[in-house]
Structure 1
């Protein structure tokens, strides 16, 4: 019963944060999570094998739909090795577990963030772009520029976003040439 209660509290908290920021949920379509045969500690293996993934996803979907937010499931294949800027796919783009560097355009970023940017692009929600060495997320539906760290509470009307300047992401991006 404690597990159920914690799952409900966590999913409610996530849904409330998303509602406050007018954000939808994009989740990876993960399969065979329990078949990972990496050697870990017995305690961690036990916790991972007993975590109720399916129930967590069900609660999350329910809480989001209850608040009128969209949930979309996206194929996670090659999200961590594909460049979100130029689309180049190569296993060698992953320098190590934490670092991504595109071998074609030189885009360098944290590998986990790159996977999230690729999921964002695949959700038909937006496009990732670089302008003046800054990273931007551009919504495809309205072609507006939205900062990664700012989600508007209301959808902007057409005339307002045409007059505004693009919002820039915090300075965490390094772009290098080969």
Structure 2
């Protein structure tokens, strides 16, 4: 499996200035190459490189290998754009976003991330420094810091490109590591996880991770955003961007904490993890106006992603099961009816009388479906 490790660079003021000049030069070069690719319909790497190689070296001050990286960055951007259009991420072909995307070349922000391969960037793990190409020449001895676990992962598994990123005035390197997949054990049972808004996650064991704190934090942030939006100044716009990033990091931290604890319990008890398949939930459900913002901004998908990759890294079995009627079905008698869930928090079966917290019942139904699904997955193929 691929895992990214983010380390923080600690450049001197002179080194930071050289890194910033390099990042801006690379992105100007990539934007120029993108304009040529769009105008001449050159979306293959060899054809585009042949067309712009000399210009990028002469005009933007890039050496040979950074030119190759800039061209690949452009080609990858158009591949990603094509995939996004095909998947409908920019709406139907009649939408403004779709038409704008196909009618203009891709543009790279001055501070957009820049990939470096091992010819442009080398790591000195013992000294905790890197040597990196810049427009001012090769710059050695740029210090970095990371945790002992991150350093061990870098030393053992780092392979391929590393991205240079500037974020909030700070510098980072994001390295790709190819970690071998651990063997997935045969689970003795499953932990069903029900995801929601009021309760971010509820397991079939009855463990409840409430979303009250995150919801309160996001409402407070929404109030601050409203105040800043009324000012309509450049300073307010910068602070809005800072607050949005801070809110995103907070939600990510909460999801990391929840998923780490669930995976740890599953690994310790020899069980697997099952979640509802929530693809398309925002298109399926009908909401009141005041609920739309909450649901569209809630990190359902991210929590599922964190559970999936942490489970894979730990060798814990992971399944997504059908989400239909998990909150309306009785796990004891199987009776399914909307009236079984009289309100958001409570479940009571109209047939057998089973009662309990609605989210726990949903988690139990997810667990039961995972049991059945795993039997089908591991069943031997019929002999011909």
TM-score (norm. length: structure 2)? 0.28
Aligned to 1:23: 271
Write the distance in 2 (CA, Å) between the matches of 1:119 and 1:29.
10
2:271 is the counterpart of 1:33: no
Shift of 1:57: 2.7
Write the distance in 2 (CA, Å) between the matches of 1:109 and 1:97.
12
Shift of 1:9: 5.2
Write the distance in 2 (CA, Å) between the matches of 1:95 and 1:55.
29
Inter-CA distance 112–50: structure 2 relative to 1 (3 Å threshold): closer
Shift of 1:116: 1.2
Shift of 1:51: 4.7
Q: Which moved more, 1:66-75 or 1:56-65?
A: 56-65
Write the distance in 2 (CA, Å) between the matches of 1:111 and 1:91.
12
Alignment gaps of 5+ in structure 2: 1-244, 376-384
Deviations 1:54-79 (A, max 9, x none): 44433321110111101111111111
Inter-CA distance 51–84: structure 2 relative to 1 (3 Å threshold): closer
Write the distance in 2 (CA, Å) between the matches of 1:78 and 1:41.
21
Deviations 1:124-153 (A, max 9, x none): 16xxxxxxxxxxxxxx9xxxxxxxxxxxxx
Write the distance in 1 (CA, Å) between the matches of 2:336 and 2:298.
32
Aligned to 1:166: none
Write the distance in 2 (CA, Å) between the matches of 1:53 and 1:99.
22
SS in 2 for 1:118: helix
Write the distance in 2 (CA, Å) between the matches of 1:102 and 1:10.
30
Aligned counterparts, 1:114-129, within 5 A: 114-124=361-371
Alignment gaps of 5+ in structure 1: 126-139, 141-178
Q: Which structure is richer in relative contact order (CA contacts within 8 A, separation 6 or more)?
A: 1
2:336 is the counterpart of 1:89: yes
Shift of 1:110: 1.7
Write the distance in 2 (CA, Å) between the matches of 1:95 and 1:107.
13
2:314 is the counterpart of 1:67: yes
Shift of 1:93: 1.6
Deviations 1:15-53 (A, max 9, x none): 2343233332110001323345333378xx26x434554
The answer to whether the 8 A contact 2:275-2:304 is kept is no
Aligned counterparts, 1:95-110, within 5 A: 95-110=342-357
Inter-CA distance 79–55: structure 2 relative to 1 (3 Å threshold): closer
RMSD across aligned positions (CA):
3.0
Shift of 1:107: 1.4
Inter-CA distance 58–96: structure 2 relative to 1 (3 Å threshold): closer
Q: Which has the higher helix share?
A: 2
Inter-CA distance 116–9: structure 2 relative to 1 (3 Å threshold): closer
Q: Point out the structure with max Rg over C-alpha.
A: 2
